Amino acid sequence: MNLEDKTFVVTGGASGIGRATVGTLCAAGATVFFGDINEEGGAETAAQVGGNSHFVPLDITSDESIANFAKTALDAGDVDGVVNVAGWDIIQPFIEQEPEFWEKVVKINLMGPVKLTRAFLDPMIARNSGKIVSVSSDAGRVGSMGETMYAGAKGGIIAFSKSLAREVARYRINVNCVCPGPTNTPLFNAQPERMREALTRAIPFRRVAEPNEIADAILFFVSDRSDYLTGQVLSVSGGLTMVD
């Protein structure tokens, strides 16, 4: 897939799926402005990927930070697509969580992508083109024990994307979701070994995804090969979930 002369923004680019996405899009010829709250990790991604990647510090819970990130990217020229990857969670029973935890999960996993998307929407509408891809989660599709608030926020991203897709189709803007299952990321590897082993056994392929496998699905959705797809949810889970 050729993304030469295309520019995309990616959140969560300092590690995991976000880092893989930056590398995959740049390898296809795109210019990528990517953000993360982890500035050290962001610098590492930029060093690994090379000259057509540009790191801009970003806290998606901060309106000011989102505005600064958007201004930096848009000042450089047209932005062809937005990829919302940044996310966060801690696995624990819902009844053990405090309201402050709920609010943090929703700010990062739902409202952050919503606000980031809004920051780039007007120029896309003016140009009558654009690709918006949000990384949700299979937890948002089917639920996940110990991830109740996270699943709720990620389910919100799915509903937001489907509804936005209907609103902006008239402007030839595609809005889609990628839903990873368990993936070899710092977030997954922070879980107890027993949990990681149980999840791996439950996957028909008997392994978790690698970040680049999720990035490949994102690449498809930002490319011209998905021009007639919008409001869709693609599970990349090795067959762990197979429901509609």
- pLDDT for 244 beyond 70: no
Q: What is the pLDDT of residue 133?
A: 98
How much is the pTM?
0.94
Domains and CATH numbers, the chain: 7-180+212-226 (3.40.50.720)
- Range with the poorest average pLDDT among 62-71, 84-93, 168-177: 84-93
50: which DSSP letter? Answer: -
Active site residue 171: no
Tokens of 67: 């505005």
- Looking at residue 117, its pLDDT comes to 98
Return the closest-CA partner of residue 66 out of 108, 125, 7, 5: 108
Tokens of 41: 């990790």
Query: 19-48: per-residue pLDDT in tens?
Result: 999 999 999 999 999 999 999 999 999 999
d(C-alpha 16, C-alpha 96), whole Å = 28
Mean of the pLDDT values across residues 65-77?
98
pLDDT > 90 fraction of the chain, expressed in percent and rounded:
79
Instruction: Name residues whose C-beta falls within 8 Å of residue 66's C-beta, 6 or more positions apart in sequence.
Output: 58, 60, 112, 115, 116, 119
Which amino acid belongs to residue 141?
R
Q: Is the pLDDT of residue 225 over 80?
A: yes
Q: How far is CA 33 from the centre of its chain?
A: 14
Determine the 3-state secondary structure of 7 from DSSP.
Answer: strand
Q: At residue 199, does pLDDT exceed 90?
A: no
d(CA 153, CA 137): 10
pLDDT at 91 over 80: yes
Q: Which of 150, 164, 208, 236 is catalytic?
A: 150
Q: Which SS3 state, helix, strand or coil, does residue 240 take?
A: coil
Contact indicator for 85, 36 with CB cutoff of 8 Å: no
Residues 16 and 211: beta-carbon distance below 8 Å: yes
According to DSSP, residue 203 is labeled S
Averaged over 111-123, what is the pLDDT?
98
Question: Mean of the pLDDT values across residues 164-188?
Answer: 93
Q: Which residues contact 197 (CB under 8 A, 6 or more apart)?
A: none
Q: Tell me, what's the pLDDT at 193?
A: 81
Radius of gyration of the chain (CA): 17
The residue ranking higher by pLDDT, 51 or 29, is 29
Residue 82 CB burial class (10 angstroms; 0-12, 13-18, ≥19): buried
- What number is the average pLDDT over the span 103-109? 98
**Does residue 66 register a pLDDT over 90?**
yes
Measured at the alpha carbon of residue 16, what is the angle toward residues 136 and 234, in degrees to the nearest 5?
Answer: 30
Averaged pLDDT, 41-69: 96
The burial class, CB within 10 Å (0-12 / 13-18 / 19+), for 2 is exposed
The conformational region for residue 50 under phi > 0 = left, psi -120 to 50 = alpha, else beta, is left
Mean of all residue pLDDT scores within the chain: 94
